[in-house]
Structure 1
């Protein structure tokens, strides 16, 4: 039987290649030119049989032209789909690239401004990805850099002013001495004492500036185990004569055992000297200065307390700033440079500690320094 032609008019197809393959292997697939249909065909044949007997074959065929048409159609569909996919991919890639390129370009321009010292502008990029994090980091950098630049300018201005004052005084006095050759000896000695005093102040200011610069640029590489009790006792002995000169009571309270911390002995000695010197200077005659050392929860606690003039609450927030003086006239009279407490703060920070101030005007001040102990 045949679905398209009358089988009576057809030859016996038993010898066709696809039927021979089906007879031998159970499946025959052949592409050939059909003499019967006068066209190229794709044949597939399978036997009709059971276990004991083969009854015949079933064969299906499709013109190659139809297969080619369907393949062409499928190929066109694939090509269109591939083209659309490529276009979408290009558009998506362009959008993604632009979404990164635009903010990166803005950040590059902003970084260029920051490198030139212009920290006024900020990036406005509201994203929750790496680009957003980078923008936040750049903004934070700009804020920090702006604060440091302002601090640097203030420091330079203050340092210039503080250095200029004694230099101007020395220059004025020496000019007076040079111009007045007939000055009496007593007046000359008074002028020379002023020059000496201004020279001492200038030397102290330069020394404090160098100490502050050294503290800001150094790390913990020179640390070693030191006995804080020994440093306190030694510092108190150095300043005892100055306390005695003002009839002040200098009371030292330390535990019997060593209190060991990791630190730089020279810096810690300067910390104690500065705090004690500050307390002695601003405590009236007949007053009392107390230094107490204790330990609590793996921390060494140093307290320097006086019953001096105290500090107003509004001033306490700025007491550790460079060149800041609560009473400028009084500080200069007492020989202060305005850097002592700033140096103290930097020493404490360098030793991973904490400093706090408690003060009541007219009653006195308490400086509390907390430093980590060394486990022995």
Structure 2
């Protein structure tokens, strides 16, 4: 039974990969097979039972032909002609049932074959309600025309048309319920898949966090332990050694504090409540960030150059968040620039936005890293000589704060080497 259900429906793997419309089309293509098998079985039984209407010699080849075509169509991805194939089968089956009604009507008899066939096909296939409503209306009109010409009493004709109208309404409602249930199931599974993807990404982030934190904390902790061990063993011979050891451990402690600070900054960027965006003259924010980075730049032998227009550039931003964005971009630029280089921070109008750019003269961003540039734990490679590797959080913080200010952050290729990062803020 499970094998037949898998053959005539979509598998869980296909549900995970295909969009809703493609799923419905694939289901309907596969449902043609059981419909053909049932048609062949019933028509053969009728012929064995002595019912040898001429139309039976059309219906059997029709069912056999579609059964063979289904084996070809179902092996290929759903396309527009797959929808035509399914529609041709459903409409053909209903029209032949109406011809049966007409053939029996010529003998003065009315049959309920058409409404039964309509209801059976609606329950078997997953038909969009609008398409079924339009098709059913046209077929119902042709059915009424056939019944009206039957040589039977008016009351019988009225009852036949009334029953068919009621069945058509029930069929449309059933199609609506089946279609909506399929849609609801698809949406629920899509939400579950997105949640699973999010959990998988979170687990990957936690794994990266554990690996980076353990790696970056282990080395300085080992160094501090070795220095303390040395101070303990030689303190009796060198009374001034403990002070020297404490002085040397300051750099290691500062490095560990810097790592923890970056991790806390990343968490704050994701969850901190920003102030309401307000009109800001971005020139003042740029100059403030350049002044804060100036000591770091001087220590690295790098010059900060601010290229700002004489008139105000007013954008909607959170001043603190924008300052943190520029701090991160400028710190990265200084870190990757060689001694004697110049880091340029500029601002300019850009269509409906105000753009701020930070350019360095470093090695630039290698092509393989550009796709994941603004993701967590993506460290710039190669690291500057003599500098410890970063935590891989700076550009993630930049992208997160930019998105929360409805700004756009991008990396651009520039002639002459180096990297250019641009944040485009909404104009006031």
Fold shared, TM-score > 0.5 on shorter chain: yes
Match of 1:355 among 409, 412, 418: 409
Indicate if the aligned counterparts of 2:336 and 2:383 stay in contact, CA closer than 8 A: no
2:359 alignment partner in structure 1: 305
Count, aligned residues? 273
- Residues 178/234 of structure 1: CA separation in 2 closer, same or farther (3 Å cut): closer
Residue 311 of structure 1 contacts residue 361 of structure 1 at CA under 8 Å; is this kept in 2?
no
1:29-178 equivalent positions in 2, closer than 5 A: 85=163, 100=177, 129-178=179-228
TM-score (normalised: structure 1): 0.61
In the alignment, structure 1 residue 314 sits paired with structure 2 residue 348: no
* Alpha-carbon spacing, 1:202–1:254, altered in 2? closer, same or farther (3 Å): same
The aligned counterpart of 1:267 is: 321
Match of 1:211 in 2: 265
* 1:242 Cα offset (Å): 2.2
Per the alignment, residue 28 of structure 2 pairs with: none
Q: Distance in 1 between matches of 2:417 and 2:382?
A: 20
CA distance in 2, matches of 1:245, 1:292: 22
Q: 1:350 to 1:170 in 2, by over 3 A?
A: same
The superposition leaves residues 8-56 of structure 1 with CA deviations (integer Å, 9 ceiling, x where unpaired) of xxxxxxxxxxxxxxxxxxxxxxxxxxxxxxxxxxxxxxxxxxxxxxxxx
Give the structure 2 partner of residue 182 of structure 1: 233
Q: Distance in 1 between matches of 2:299 and 2:421?
A: 23
**Residue 396 of structure 2 corresponds to residue 342 of structure 1:** yes
Equivalent of 2:378 in 301, 324, 333: 324
Q: 2:217, 2:233 → 1: CA distance? A: 24
- Separation in 2 of the partners of 1:208 and 1:146? 27
Higher alpha-carbon Rg = 1
CA contact (8 A) 2:376 2:392 kept: yes
Q: What is residue 293 of structure 1 aligned with on the other side?
A: 347
Q: Which residue does 1:278 correspond to in 2?
A: 332
Deviation, structure 1 residue 253: 0.9
Alpha-carbon RMSD: 3.8
> Cα 1:260–1:196, aligned 2, differ >3 Å: closer, same or farther?
same
Cα separation, 2, equivalents of 1:227 and 1:172: 48
| Displacement after TM superposition at 1:276 (Å) | 0.6
Specify every segment of 5 or more residues in structure 2 that has no aligned partner in the other structure, as ranges: 1-152
Q: Distance in 1 between matches of 2:245 and 2:384?
A: 21
How much does 1:295 deviate? 0.8
> 1:346/1:250 Cα in 2 relative to 1: closer, same or farther (>3 Å)?
same
**C-alpha separation in 1, matches of 2:241 and 2:201:** 42
Q: Distance in 1 between the 2:259 and 2:215 partners?
A: 11
Q: What do residues 128-148 of structure 1 show as CA deviations (whole Å, max 9, x unaligned)? A: x54454344334424432332
The change in CA–CA distance for 1:258 and 1:149 in structure 2 (over 3 A counts) is same
Are 1:290 and 1:305, in contact at CA under 8 Å, matched by a contact in 2? yes
Separation (CA, whole Å) in 1 of partners of 2:385 and 2:200: 25
Matched-pair contact (CA < 8 Å) for 2:336–2:384: no
Distance 1:132 1:261, change over 3 A: farther
CA pair 100-176 structure 1, distance change in 2 beyond 3 A: same
What SS is found at the alignment partner of 2:339? coil
1:335-366, Cα deviation, whole Å (9 max, x unpaired): 62210011001111111111111246982111
Secondary structure in 2 matching 1:364: coil
TM-score by length of 2: 0.54
Give CA deviations for 1:159-193 in whole Å, capped at 9, x if unaligned. Answer: 22232234434543454355442236687567545
Q: CA deviation at 1:261?
A: 2.0
> Which residue of 2 is the match for residue 252 of structure 1?
306
Report the Cα offset of residue 334 of structure 1. 4.0
